[in-house]
Amino acid sequence: DTAVSQTPKYLVTQMGNDKSIKCEQNLGHDTMYWYKQDSKKFLKIMFSYNNKELIINETVPNRFSPKSPDKAHLNLHINSLELGDSAVYFCASSQANALSTDTQYFGPGTRLTVL
Amino acid sequence: QKEVEQNSGPLSVPEGAIASLNCTYSDRVSQSFFWYRQYSGKSPELIMSIYSNGDKEDGRFTAQLNKASQYVSLLIRDSQPSDSATYLCAVNSGGSYIPTFGRGTSLIVHP
């Protein structure tokens, strides 16, 4: 059984379009994350959700918005896509609390290509 | 700003040798330390976690933590070509949900 799943795996779209990436985890974790990994492999945190509340929001463009319908899901919506948004986006989950964070479990990634 | 530094490599070692990967961090109150392995085109997966000073061994992997010097390292004994990957160091401070990742070190094990 897949612990953290993402759909779609590949996403090719035109500049200016709006797209969504879905993420689900079946580990019972209470914290989920979105990361962006660029061509140089740097893993940059974008968002983190804990118990359906946004607990940190890095300085990403407001064209990006996370949506969490429940503790097991964290979707990423991107409006007005730009060329620079092309990257691999990873969803992750962990059992974290205010004192510490545990191992991150990553989804398989979504490779976004903006043309 | 919290920083985690790694040599980007590539680090090239012959099969059977010991590969040594290093990571330094800036936040003195860091409490949790992780090594992830990422194969090309795949997602990161946990190799080792370490929380206290000293060594922690798991099979061919040994994590070493020195909080006074603010570094954490990963040793891979008897390196195999299948160990060729990018190794990401991640550090987390108490009170934070968000680990800080280094840029990763590319390891190449050649036969």
Give residue-wise pLDDT tens across range B23-64: 999 988 888 999 999 999 999 999 999 999 999 999 999 999
Q: Tell me, what's the pLDDT at B11?
A: 96
Q: Which of B47, B57, B32 is nearest to B83 (CA)?
A: B47
How confident is the prediction for chain B on average, in pLDDT?
A: 93
Tell me whether residue B55 is exposed, middle or buried, using C-beta atoms within 10 angstroms of its C-beta: 0 to 12, 13 to 18, 19 or more: exposed
Whole-number pLDDT of residue A97: 65
At A36-65, the pLDDT tens digits run 998 888 899 898 888 767 876 777 898 999
Contacts of A40 in chain B (CB under 8 A): 103
Q: Please provide the distance, in angstroms rounded to a whole number, between the alpha carbons at the two ends of chain A.
A: 34
Does position B98 have pLDDT exceeding 90, yes or no?
no
Please, what sign has the CA dihedral across residues A80, A83, A88, A94?
negative
Tell me the pLDDT band of A87, cut-offs 50, 70 and 90.
Answer: very high
* Mean pLDDT within A11-17: 97
Nearest to B43 among A48, A90, A102 (CB): A90
| Residues B103, A40: C-beta atoms closer than 8 Å | yes
User: What DSSP letter does each residue of B8-38 carry, written as one string?
Assistant: ---EEEETTSPEEEEEEES-TTEEEEEEEEE
Contacts A48 to B, Cβ<8 Å: 97-98
| Pick from A41, A101, A106: CB nearest B92 | A101
What tokens were used for B53?
A: 């000073």
B111 min Cα distance to partner chain A (Å): 25
Using a CB-CB distance cutoff of 8 angstroms, which residues of chain B are in contact with residue A96?
97
d(CA A94, CA B111): 36
Q: Which residues of A1-36 are buried (b: 16+ CB within 10 A; e: fewer)?
A: eeebebeeeebebeeeeebebbbbbeeebbbbbbbb
With a cut of 70, say whether residue A98 has pLDDT above it. no
A105: which chain B residues are within 8 Å (Cβ-Cβ)? 46
